[in-house]
Amino acid sequence: MFVNLSGHAQTPAVANPLDAVPENMPFDVPYGAPITLERAQAVIAAAVAEAKRHNWKLNVAVVDSGANLVAAAATVK
């Protein structure tokens, strides 16, 4: 059996820009505004509420751009 695929050419794969390795480390990457404790607690409250809806047991942590812990909570049944 012969199948004609002449009209069905494959499109070439597009390179992912995240696969590129920079020559120099870009140290001027903006991180945005620091997160406040109140905002971190609001994020945690939303995550805990979602976990309770799905009966998930998890730990939630919010860190700032320097990986410093801002707030944390655990959900248990």
Higher pLDDT, 62 or 21: 62
Is the confidence at residue 55, as pLDDT, over 70?
yes
- Name the pTM for this structure: 0.57
Which amino acid is located at 2 in the chain?
F
Cβ atoms within 10 Å of 72's Cβ, excluding its own: 12
**What three-state secondary structure class fits 4?**
coil
What average pLDDT is seen over the chain? 82
- Mean pLDDT computed over 36-52: 94
> Is residue 5 pLDDT above 70, yes or no?
no
Question: 45 pLDDT exceeds 70?
Answer: yes
